[in-house]
């Protein structure tokens, strides 16, 4: 019995969609994209790079979280700073898992014009699993999956799993991936670049060629297609962050589409509207970056210590809201490992130099915020 779209002969040729339904979502996504790209053109180089770094951090953290993988935000920030050549004083050394994912995302969006090949995709997957393990399970890395049959997407406890999707068998992968890569580099892609990104996303995640990491690589491919459409590596929005916030709807529309007969209008419409929302919410990130830039410009030439810089960067990364309850002496000690007396002295120094402002209250409950 035919249960999934890939079980139909020449299944991608069966894809069809209602163009009339997509006209408005496409126009809305293009409008939001144009407004953001226009805003990007007014940013200076340094601010643009800082905004790009913020986006990469969001993208790495959320694309991993969608798959249930939790990365250390500080390690991700360190990796992004190092790879983009940004100031990284007071930032910890990145771990290998975070560094591998950041490497993939940068490669996909910075080298968007270079060929997408089997070797490149396999290299991406190997970078995600530098130890050769997914959790406690040893997996095939740097190659298509081999013996894991059936390849299923499941949820629920052991013994009561719900199968959401089953991918093509491993024997079909060389042919399926050859077809996908030929489509990617051919002129038979739709002329509309946003639809190309949506189709690439659906195609790759349906084939599910790797033993693990398919979701992260799928979204990197979609980002690559979007970067090629925009003809810029300056990423100011994160599709993964938006997908993460709409995760239930994302999986639901994918499951419906993969169990269908080739009618993919629902998926394309959802992707375009999700992209629109991702573009629109990027304004918050830009405002945060601009606020950080104004702070550093205002404080230019004022010297602070490495521990103080580490704490200020942590507060800035938390955004306009700062830490819940503000920065306290106890939190300063926890972040820096210094003594309470030293922490109090360095906080007072940051207040005098205009980096921090004191909240209401006093005594042991005294706390501080960034002096935006």
pLDDT digits (tens, 9 = 90+) for 144-174: 998 777 888 887 777 777 889 999 999 999 9
> Over 70: is that where the pLDDT of 190 sits?
no
User: Closest Cα to residue 371, out of 350, 351, 357, 353?
Assistant: 357
Q: Using CA atoms, how far apart are residues 172 and 165, in angstroms rounded to an integer?
A: 17
The CA-based angle 350-356-359, given to 5 degrees, is 130
Q: Using CA atoms, how far apart are residues 26 and 10, in angstroms rounded to an integer?
A: 27
Q: Which residue has the tokens 């375009």?
A: 272
pLDDT digits (tens, 9 = 90+) for 82-137: 888 876 544 566 688 899 999 999 999 999 999 999 999 999 999 999 999 988 88
Q: Using CA atoms, how far apart are residues 266 and 257, in angstroms rounded to an integer?
A: 8
Give CATH 1.10.3290.10 domain extents, the chain. Answer: 5-290
User: Closest Cα to residue 177, out of 188, 167, 187?
Assistant: 167
Q: Using CA atoms, how far apart are residues 231 and 353, in angstroms rounded to an integer?
A: 42
Contacts of 240 (CB under 8 A, 6+ apart): 58, 59, 62, 63, 66, 219
Residue 370, SS3? Answer: strand
Q: What is the 3-state secondary structure (H, E, C) of 87-156?
A: CCCCCCCCCHHHHHHHHHHHHHHHCCCCCCCHHHHHHHHHHHCCCCEECCEECCCCCCCCCCCCCEEEEC
Pick the CATH number of 5-290 from 1.10.3290.10, 3.60.120.10, 1.20.1270.360, 3.30.450.40: 1.10.3290.10
pLDDT digits (tens, 9 = 90+) for 337-347: 999 999 999 99
**Residue 277 tokens, joined:** 């929302």
User: Closest Cα to residue 197, out of 29, 59, 18?
Assistant: 29
Mark residue 320 as left, alpha or beta (left: phi above 0; alpha: psi -120 to 50; beta: remaining). alpha
Q: What's the pLDDT at 52?
A: 84
Q: Using CA atoms, how far apart are residues 203 and 46, in angstroms rounded to an integer?
A: 37
pLDDT band of 354, cuts 50, 70, 90: confident
Rounded alpha-carbon distances, angstroms, from residue 30 to 25, 36, 268, 275, 326: 9, 10, 14, 9, 39
pLDDT digits (tens, 9 = 90+) for 262-287: 999 999 999 999 999 999 988 776 77
Q: What is the dihedral of CA 105, 106, 112, 114, to 10 degrees?
A: -110
Is the pTM higher than 0.85? The answer reads no
Give CATH 1.10.10.10 domain extents, the chain. Answer: 304-370
Contacts of 334 (CB under 8 A, 6+ apart): none
Mark residue 92 as left, alpha or beta (left: phi above 0; alpha: psi -120 to 50; beta: remaining). beta
pLDDT digits (tens, 9 = 90+) for 281-301: 887 767 776 667 667 666 777
In contact, 213 and 248? CB cutoff 8 Å: no
Pick the CATH number of 304-370 from 2.60.120.260, 3.40.50.720, 1.10.1740.10, 1.10.10.10: 1.10.10.10
Contacts of 263 (CB under 8 A, 6+ apart): 16, 17
Contacts of 299 (CB under 8 A, 6+ apart): 353, 354, 355
Contacts of 157 (CB under 8 A, 6+ apart): none
Q: Which residue has the tokens 């300063």?
A: 332
Q: Using CA atoms, how far apart are residues 17 and 66, in angstroms rounded to an integer?
A: 27
When the pLDDT of each residue in the chain is averaged and rounded to a whole number, the result is 87
55-64, 135-144, 283-292, 330-339: which has the minimum mean pLDDT?
283-292
In contact, 235 and 275? CB cutoff 8 Å: no
């Amino acid at each position: 019995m035919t249960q999934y779209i890939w079980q139909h002969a020449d299944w991608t040729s069966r894809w069809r969609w209602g163009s009339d339904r997509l006209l408005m979502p496409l126009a809305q996504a293009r409008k939001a994209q144009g407004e953001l790209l226009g805003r990007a053109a007014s940013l200076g180089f340094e601010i643009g790079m800082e905004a790009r770094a913020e986006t990469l951090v969001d993208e790495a953290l959320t694309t991993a979280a969608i798959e249930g993988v939790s990365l250390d935000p500080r390690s991700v920030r360190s990796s992004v700073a190092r790879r983009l050549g940004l100031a990284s004083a007071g930032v910890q050394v990145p771990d290998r898992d975070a560094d591998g994912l950041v490497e993939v995302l940068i490669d996909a969006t910075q080298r968007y014009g270079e060929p997408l090949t089997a070797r490149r995709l396999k290299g991406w997957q190997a970078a995600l699993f530098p130890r050769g393990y997914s959790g406690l399970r040893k997996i095939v890395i740097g190659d298509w999956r081999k013996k894991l049959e059936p390849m299923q997407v499941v949820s629920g406890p052991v013994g009561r799993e719900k199968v959401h999707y089953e991918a093509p068998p491993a024997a079909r992968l060389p042919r399926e991936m050859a077809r996908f890569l030929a489509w990617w580099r051919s002129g038979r892609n739709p002329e509309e670049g946003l639809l190309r990104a949506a189709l690439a996303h659906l195609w790759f995640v349906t084939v599910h060629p790797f033993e693990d990491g398919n979701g992260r690589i799928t979204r990197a491919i979609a980002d690559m297609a979007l970067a090629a459409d925009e003809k810029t590596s300056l990423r100011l929005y994160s599709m993964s962050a938006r997908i993460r916030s709409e995760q239930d709807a994302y999986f639901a529309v994918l499951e419906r589409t993969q169990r269908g007969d080739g009618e993919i209008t629902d998926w394309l419409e959802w992707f375009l509207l999700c992209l629109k929302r991702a573009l629109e919410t990027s304004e918050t990130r830009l405002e945060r970056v601009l606020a950080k830039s104004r702070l550093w410009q205002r404080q230019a030439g004022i010297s602070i210590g490495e521990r103080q810089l580490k704490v200020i960067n942590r507060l800035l990364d938390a955004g306009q809201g700062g830490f819940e309850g503000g920065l306290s002496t106890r939190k300063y000690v926890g972040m820096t490992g210094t003594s309470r007396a030293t922490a109090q002295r360095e906080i007072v120094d940051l207040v005098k130099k205009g980096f921090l402002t004191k909240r209401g209250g006093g005594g042991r409950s005294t706390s501080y915020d960034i002096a935006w």
